Amino acid sequence: MSFLTEKEKESVYIIREMYAREKNLTLLWSMGKDSTVLLWLIRKAFLGKIPFPVVHIDTSYKFKEMYEFRDYFAQEWGLDLIVQRNEKALAQGVSYDNCEATTVCHKLKTEPLQDFIKQTGVRGLFVGIRSDEHNIRAKEQIFSLRDEKFEWKHENYLMQIGNDLYDYELKKGEHLRIHPILNWSETEVWEYIQRENIPVCDLYFSKDGKRYRSLGCRPITKPVDSEAQTIEQIIQELKEGSSGERQGRLQDKENEMAMQQLRSLGYM
């Protein structure tokens, strides 16, 4: 069995195990490579269908190419897509022009996610984060508890060994974040995309010597220098390079503790 096949097998096991335990589940889809790989894995786990809603937390500031990618493949794959936005905050003028990036992320990402959880009573959220993407995410578990205030506390571990979650009981208002690709690397994600021929947004590929390595909101996401125009070239570039994946995400530069603050409040 190949290394990628073993990774796939472990992730599918996590997905099916959680589906057997909790029926009110949701997948968070950002249209980035990681959440699209997770979406693909869930489709494989359930024979081409996703038996629960797919939610996009829309800040309204994504790239045009990301919206086009979302709308096309939501229809192509028959997704039960829900687009959640904080219309109140947008109407009040919350934007990158007059607020810090961390404030905008909280208002336009975390708060609408919290609203969705409260409205639907979701007990489990599938999220495509990886531990090697950011040092704060390296603290996470595959199964991660959020309390009734949506807060994440890294010391509040659930009992689990490997991919197995032991008995637990969610209290009123609590939910789980499930991270089936937490232990995948960036290179492994791209190798899996290549092997499975998974569609990804065109922004990942070089144009005029620039490409996006990580996709976020347009005003705070910048491209990196790159000549990689194919998946094979991206993989080679990653194997030869040493720079961080989120080097183009400006909220990380604005405040080095931004991710810690956002995740403690319920951010993805």
Architecture of domain 3-185: 3-Layer(aba) Sandwich (3.40)
Q: What average pLDDT does this structure show over 35-46?
A: 98
pLDDT at 249: 56
Q: What average pLDDT does this structure show over 170-174?
A: 89
For residue 108, what pLDDT band results from cuts at 50, 70 and 90?
Answer: very high
Each domain of the chain, given as residue ranges in start order, spans 3-185
Mean per-residue pLDDT over the chain, rounded: 90
Q: Is the pLDDT of residue 92 over 70?
A: yes
Strand 164-165 relative to strand 160-161: parallel, antiparallel, unpaired? antiparallel
Integer Cα distance of 14 and 201 in angstroms: 26
Q: What average pLDDT does this structure show over 11-40?
A: 96
Q: Is the pLDDT of residue 139 over 80?
A: no
pLDDT at 161: 73
Q: Is the pLDDT of residue 2 over 50?
A: yes
Q: What average pLDDT does this structure show over 126-141?
A: 85
pLDDT digits (tens, 9 = 90+) for 235-258: 999 999 867 776 655 555 445 555
Q: What average pLDDT does this structure show over 60-67?
A: 98
- Looking at per-residue confidence, does 54 or 268 come out higher? 54
Q: Is the pLDDT of residue 162 over 70?
A: yes
pLDDT at 253: 46
pTM passes above 0.95:
no
pLDDT digits (tens, 9 = 90+) for 67-88: 999 999 999 999 999 999 999 9
Q: What average pLDDT does this structure show over 61-66?
A: 98
Mention every residue, 6+ apart, whose C-beta is less than 8 A from residue 59: 85, 104, 105, 108, 109, 217
Q: Is the pLDDT of residue 114 over 80?
A: yes
pLDDT at 262: 55
